[in-house]
Amino acid sequence: MDEIKDLLSEKRLAKYKGNSTEDALKHHLYNSELAESFYQSLSYFEIILRNKIDFVFSKYLGKDWIFDNQYYVGKNKKHYEDAFKRIEREKGVTALSKKDTFISEFPFGFWSFLFSDEYNDVIWKKHPQILKEIFEYEKSKLPLSKYYRDINKIRIFRNKVFHYGSLIAFHYNDTHLGVLHNFMYNIMKNMGANKILKSIKNIDNFNATYKKGKELQILK
């Protein structure tokens, strides 16, 4: 048995093609470190996003907007049904009446999809001011489609991080990781999370991990 190839799988190591088996392992281990360095920024991004959305939505759509069926459009209807079943199964019927339970149970995809054009009629055309209030410190007047693309890109990256995808390949083929890291912080800043960001940066080790990748010549 080839310990590295058989236990980690050739398919997984193939993401680092062009390297020897030992170098592929080195890249794979560094990729895990790189993923871990994004845990803080991604986790807090999702928390801040969903709570800022709820804060502003509650102001314009009502505090119990999350229980109103008209706001479950397209694939968010499935997200709601899945969350409902999961909450009922794991936390009991009484938890179904708790708004905070649904907020924490909905996946990132639910929150990002709220910015899709499928919500134009039910939210964005009726309450155009909501977008500005969610991203209250954004200086430019950006269209809804730009927010949807940006947040959805972070969602896709988040899934890659938490499902052991190759961030090294993402760095070369999609978006520079340093740019993406700063991009997330800028969006959180535009949502008014300045004090929180100062604390997050104290535990965020992306810069040190990125520097290590450069020193190891894994990242260029």
* pLDDT 10s digits, 61-110: 999 999 999 999 999 999 999 999 999 999 999 999 999 999 999 999 99
Q: CB of 191 within 8 A of CB of 48?
A: yes
The answer to whether residue 188 is domain-embedded is yes
The answer to whether residue 193 is domain-embedded is yes
Q: CB of 34 within 8 A of CB of 213?
A: yes
The answer to whether residue 26 is domain-embedded is no
The answer to whether residue 20 is domain-embedded is no
DSSP run (H or E) holding 193 = none
User: So what's the pLDDT on residue 166?
Assistant: 86
User: Residue 107 — left, alpha, or beta (φ > 0 → left; ψ -120 to 50 → alpha)?
Assistant: beta
The answer to whether residue 144 is domain-embedded is yes
Q: How confident is the model at residue 2 (pLDDT cuts 50, 70, 90)?
A: low
User: So what's the pLDDT on residue 1?
Assistant: 44
The answer to whether residue 27 is domain-embedded is no
Q: Whole-model pTM? A: 0.90
Q: pLDDT, tens digit, for every residue of 30-59?
A: 999 999 999 999 999 999 999 999 999 999
Q: CB of 52 within 8 A of CB of 192?
A: yes
122 DSSP assignment = I
The answer to whether residue 71 is domain-embedded is yes
Number of separate domains in the chain: 1
Of 115, 52, 159, the closest CA to residue 167 belongs to 159
The answer to whether residue 22 is domain-embedded is no
Q: pLDDT, tens digit, for every residue of 137-193?
A: 999 999 999 999 999 999 999 999 998 888 987 777 777 899 999 999 999 999 999
Indicate the Cα dihedral angle 157, 160, 163, 169, nearest 10°.
-150
C-alpha–C-alpha distance, residues 136 and 43, integer Å: 21
Q: Structural domain of residue 92, as residue ranges?
A: 38-204
